[in-house]
Structure 1
Amino acid sequence: MAYWAFLSFSIHSILLISLSETAPTTSLRNETDRLALLAFKNEITSDPLRALSSWNDSLHFCEWRGITCGSKHQRVRTLNLTSLFLEGFLSPHIANLSFLATIDLSNNGFYGPVLNELGHLFRLRQLDLSFNSFQGEIPAAISNCSKLFLLDISSNSLVGEIPPELGSLPNLEGLGLYINGLTGNIPPSLGNLSSLNTISLARNELDGSIPNDIGRISKLRFFQISGNKLSGTIPSSIYNLSDIYFFSVSENQLHGTIPSNLGATLPNLQLFYVGANRFTGSIPISLSNASLLQELYFTYNDFTGGVPMDLGDLQFLRFFSIGNNRMGTGKADELKFVDSLTNCSNLERFTFHVNRFSGPLPNSIANLSTQLSFLGFGENQLSGNIPEGIVNLVKLSKLYIQNNLLTGEIPVAFGKLRKLQQLELSRNKFSGKIPSSIGNMTKLSLLYLQENNLEGSIPSSLGNCRKLDLLNISQNNLSGPIPKELMGIFSLSISLNLAQNSLTGFLPVEVGGLKNLREIDVSGNRLTGEIPQSLGNCESLVLLRLQSNFFNGTIPSSLRDLRGIDVLDLSRNNLTGQIPEFLGSFSFLKNLNLSFNDFDGKLPDKGLFGNARAVSVMGNSKLCGGIPQLQLPECVSPAPKRRKKSFYLAVFIPTSFLAVCLIFSPCLCAVLYGRRKSRSVESLHTSISYSDLCKATDDFSSSNLLGVGSYGSVYRGTFASDNTTVAVKVLNLQRQGASKSFIAECEALRNVRHRNLVKVLTSCSSIDFKGNDFKALIYEFMPNGSLEEWLHPNEEEGHQLRNLSLTQRLNIAIDVANALDYLHYHHGTPIVHCDIKPTNVLLDDDMVAHVGDFGLAKILLETSNNFSSTHISSTAIKGSIGYVAPEYGIGGDVSTFGDVYSYGILLLELFTGRRPTEEMFKNGLTLHEFSKMAFSDRVMEIADPLLGEENDQDNACNNVESTEGKGQRVLECFASVVRIGIACSMETPRDRMQMKEVVSEMLVIRDKFLRIGIYKAR
Structure 2
Amino acid sequence: MAYLSLFFYAIVLILLIPATTLAKNNTDHLALLAIKSGITHDPQHVVGTWNTSIHFCKWEGVTCGRRHPRVTTLDLGSRGIVGSLSPHIGNLSFLRVIRLENNTFKSVIPPQIGNLFRLQKLILINNSFEGEVPASLSNCTRLNVLGLSRNKLVGKLPQKLGSLVNLEIITVHSNGFTGGIPSFLANLTSLVAISAADNHLGGTIPHGLNQLHNLQEIGFANNQLYGTIPPSLYNLSSLRVISFTDNKISGDLPLNLGLKLHNLEFFQFSGNKLTGNIPFSFSNCSNLVELSLAENGLTGKVDINFSKMPNLWYLALFDNILGSSEPDEMKFIDSMINCSKLEMLSVHINRFTGVLPSSIGNLSTQLTSLAFGRNNLYGPLPSGIGNLVKLERLSVLQNQFNGVIPNELGNLRNLKLLYLHYNNFTGNVPYSIGNLSLLTVLNLSKNRLKGYIPLILNNCRSLLSLDLSKNNLTGPIPVELFQLSSLSITLNLSRNHLVGPLPQEIGKLKSLTKFDLSQNDLVGEIPNTIGSCVSLESLLLDDNLFQGQIPPTMSALKGIIILNLSSNNFSGEIPRFLSQLNLSSLDLSFNDLEGEVPLEGIFRNGSLFKVNGNDKLCGGPPELRLQKCRKTGSRKSRVIFLVVIPLCTLLVGTMVFMSFLIYRRRRKTRAQPPAEASHVQPFTRVTYGSMLKATNEFSQQNLIGTGTFSEVYKCILEPDDGMVAIKVLKLENRGALKSFTAECEALKNIRHRNLVKIITSCSSIDYQGNDFRAIVYEFMPKGNLERWLHPSSEHEMDAESGPQRLSLHQRVTIATDVAQAIHYLHQDCEVPVIHCDLKPSNILLDSEMVARIGDFGLAKFLPLKPRESSTVGLRGTIGYAAPEYGLGSEMTKEGDIYSFGILLLEMITGKRPTDDMFQEGLNLHGYVKMAFPDRLKEIVESGLLLVREEADQNINYGYNENIEGRRWKKIEKCIVSLARIGLTCSMESPTERMNTTKVVHELQNISGIV
**TM-score under structure 1 normalisation?**
0.70
1:516 aligns with 2:412: no
DSSP-derived class of the 2:176 partner:
coil
1:495 aligns with 2:418: no
Q: CA RMSD for the aligned pairs?
A: 4.4
Task: Tell me, yes or no, if the aligned pair for 1:373 and 1:395 is still in contact at 8 Å.
Answer: yes
Shift of 1:369: 1.1
- Which residue pairs with 1:872 in the alignment? 821
DSSP-derived class of the 2:129 partner:
strand
Query: In structure 1, how many angstroms separate the alpha carbons of the residues matched to 2:28 and 2:321?
Result: 63
Task: Tell me, yes or no, if the aligned pair for 2:559 and 2:716 is still in contact at 8 Å.
Answer: no
- Residue type of the alignment partner of 2:183: P
Task: Write the deviation string for residues 929-979 of structure 1: whole angstroms up to 9, x where unpaired.
Answer: xxxxxxxxxxxxxxxxxxxxxxxxxxxxxxxxxxxxxxxxxxxxxxxxxxx
- Which residue pairs with 2:113 in the alignment? 118
Matches within 5 A, 1:596-615: 596-615=590-609
- Which residue pairs with 1:215 in the alignment? 210
Task: Tell me, yes or no, if the aligned pair for 1:487 and 1:513 is still in contact at 8 Å.
Answer: yes
Shift of 1:451: 0.9
Matches within 5 A, 1:123-522: 123-522=118-517
- Which residue pairs with 1:888 in the alignment? 838
Distance verdict in 2 for CA 1:71–1:655, change over 3 Å: closer
Task: Tell me, yes or no, if the aligned pair for 2:754 and 2:818 is still in contact at 8 Å.
Answer: no
Query: In structure 1, how many angstroms separate the alpha carbons of the residues matched to 2:544 and 2:142?
Result: 80
Query: In structure 1, how many angstroms separate the alpha carbons of the residues matched to 2:20 and 2:73?
Result: 21
DSSP-derived class of the 2:303 partner:
coil
- Residue type of the alignment partner of 1:340: S
Query: In structure 1, how many angstroms separate the alpha carbons of the residues matched to 2:644 and 2:853?
Result: 61
Distance verdict in 2 for CA 1:198–1:362, change over 3 Å: same
Query: In structure 1, how many angstroms separate the alpha carbons of the residues matched to 2:347 and 2:450?
Result: 30
Task: Tell me, yes or no, if the aligned pair for 1:571 and 1:596 is still in contact at 8 Å.
Answer: yes
**Is 513-522 or 107-116 further displaced after alignment?**
107-116
Task: Tell me, yes or no, if the aligned pair for 1:874 and 1:889 is still in contact at 8 Å.
Answer: no
Distance verdict in 2 for CA 1:891–1:229, change over 3 Å: closer
Task: Write the deviation string for residues 971-993 of structure 1: whole angstroms up to 9, x where unpaired.
Answer: xxxxxxxxxxxxxx9999xx9xx
DSSP-derived class of the 2:105 partner:
strand
Task: Write the deviation string for residues 480-522 of structure 1: whole angstroms up to 9, x where unpaired.
Answer: 1111111111111111111111111011111111010100000
- Residue type of the alignment partner of 2:510: K
DSSP-derived class of the 1:406 partner:
strand
- Residue type of the alignment partner of 2:602: L
Matches within 5 A, 1:58-69: 58-69=53-64
Query: In structure 2, how many angstroms separate the alpha carbons of the residues matched to 1:609 and 1:926?
Result: 38
Query: In structure 2, how many angstroms separate the alpha carbons of the residues matched to 1:986 and 1:540?
Result: 37
DSSP-derived class of the 2:215 partner:
coil
- Which residue pairs with 1:52 in the alignment? 47
Query: In structure 1, how many angstroms separate the alpha carbons of the residues matched to 2:690 and 2:430?
Result: 54
- Residue type of the alignment partner of 2:587: N
DSSP-derived class of the 1:872 partner:
helix
Task: Write the deviation string for residues 637-678 of structure 1: whole angstroms up to 9, x where unpaired.
Answer: 32688xxx99xx69x99579989999xx99x99xx99xx9xx
Query: In structure 1, how many angstroms separate the alpha carbons of the residues matched to 2:315 and 2:377?
Result: 19
Shift of 1:874: 8.9
Task: Tell me, yes or no, if the aligned pair for 2:96 and 2:120 is still in contact at 8 Å.
Answer: yes
Task: Write the deviation string for residues 169-205 of structure 1: whole angstroms up to 9, x where unpaired.
Answer: 1211111111100001212221111111011111000
- Which residue pairs with 2:932 in the alignment? none
Query: In structure 2, how many angstroms separate the alpha carbons of the residues matched to 1:922 and 1:70?
Result: 47
DSSP-derived class of the 1:334 partner:
coil
Gaps of 5+ in 2: 667-672, 705-710, 726-751, 784-809, 859-867, 880-911, 916-940, 942-1010
DSSP-derived class of the 1:276 partner:
coil
Distance verdict in 2 for CA 1:94–1:688, change over 3 Å: farther
Query: In structure 2, how many angstroms separate the alpha carbons of the residues matched to 1:529 and 1:654?
Result: 43
- Residue type of the alignment partner of 2:603: F
Distance verdict in 2 for CA 1:839–1:569, change over 3 Å: closer
Matches within 5 A, 1:3-42: 6=2, 9=4, 12-42=7-37
- Residue type of the alignment partner of 2:164: L
DSSP-derived class of the 1:213 partner:
helix
Gaps of 5+ in 1: 681-686, 693-741, 753-758, 761-778, 788-805, 905-916, 929-984, 992-1018
Query: In structure 2, how many angstroms separate the alpha carbons of the residues matched to 1:341 and 1:100?
Result: 51
Task: Tell me, yes or no, if the aligned pair for 1:95 and 1:121 is still in contact at 8 Å.
Answer: yes
- Which residue pairs with 1:529 in the alignment? 524
Task: Write the deviation string for residues 700-719 of structure 1: whole angstroms up to 9, x where unpaired.
Answer: xxxxxxxxxxxxxxxxxxxx
Task: Tell me, yes or no, if the aligned pair for 2:448 and 2:471 is still in contact at 8 Å.
Answer: yes
Query: In structure 2, how many angstroms separate the alpha carbons of the residues matched to 1:439 and 1:783?
Result: 40
Shift of 1:16: 2.1
Task: Tell me, yes or no, if the aligned pair for 1:843 and 1:849 is still in contact at 8 Å.
Answer: yes
Task: Tell me, yes or no, if the aligned pair for 2:535 and 2:559 is still in contact at 8 Å.
Answer: yes
Task: Write the deviation string for residues 794-845 of structure 1: whole angstroms up to 9, x where unpaired.
Answer: xxxxxxxxxxxx9778799799613599999569x99966889998563668
Task: Tell me, yes or no, if the aligned pair for 2:281 and 2:304 is still in contact at 8 Å.
Answer: no
- Which residue pairs with 2:87 in the alignment? 92
DSSP-derived class of the 1:19 partner:
helix
- Which residue pairs with 1:954 in the alignment? none
1:818 aligns with 2:813: no
Shift of 1:923: 8.1
DSSP-derived class of the 2:315 partner:
strand
Distance verdict in 2 for CA 1:99–1:922, change over 3 Å: farther
Shift of 1:11: 5.1
Shift of 1:82: 0.8
Matches within 5 A, 1:78-89: 78-89=73-84
Task: Tell me, yes or no, if the aligned pair for 1:824 and 1:831 is still in contact at 8 Å.
Answer: no
Shift of 1:533: 0.8
Query: In structure 1, how many angstroms separate the alpha carbons of the residues matched to 2:689 and 2:558?
Result: 29
Distance verdict in 2 for CA 1:597–1:844, change over 3 Å: farther
Matches within 5 A, 1:692-703: none
Shift of 1:375: 0.3
- Which residue pairs with 1:627 in the alignment? 621
Query: In structure 1, how many angstroms separate the alpha carbons of the residues matched to 2:276 and 2:615?
Result: 64
Distance verdict in 2 for CA 1:848–1:612, change over 3 Å: farther
- Which residue pairs with 1:76 in the alignment? 71
Task: Tell me, yes or no, if the aligned pair for 2:275 and 2:296 is still in contact at 8 Å.
Answer: yes
Query: In structure 1, how many angstroms separate the alpha carbons of the residues matched to 2:644 and 2:116?
Result: 109
Distance verdict in 2 for CA 1:812–1:506, change over 3 Å: closer
Task: Tell me, yes or no, if the aligned pair for 1:823 and 1:831 is still in contact at 8 Å.
Answer: no
DSSP-derived class of the 1:408 partner:
strand
Shift of 1:901: 6.7
Higher relative contact order, structure no. (Cα contacts within 8 Å, ≥ 6 residues apart): 1
- Which residue pairs with 2:765 in the alignment? 842
Matches within 5 A, 1:557-576: 557-576=552-571
Query: In structure 1, how many angstroms separate the alpha carbons of the residues matched to 2:68 and 2:613?
Result: 98
Query: In structure 1, how many angstroms separate the alpha carbons of the residues matched to 2:774 and 2:13?
Result: 75
**Is 162-171 or 152-161 further displaced after alignment?**
162-171
Task: Write the deviation string for residues 580-606 of structure 1: whole angstroms up to 9, x where unpaired.
Answer: 1111122x3111110100011122222
**Is 544-553 or 74-83 further displaced after alignment?**
74-83
Shift of 1:925: 12
Task: Tell me, yes or no, if the aligned pair for 2:482 and 2:508 is still in contact at 8 Å.
Answer: yes
Matches within 5 A, 1:575-724: 575-586=570-581, 588-638=582-632, 654=642, 689=675
Task: Tell me, yes or no, if the aligned pair for 2:842 and 2:853 is still in contact at 8 Å.
Answer: no
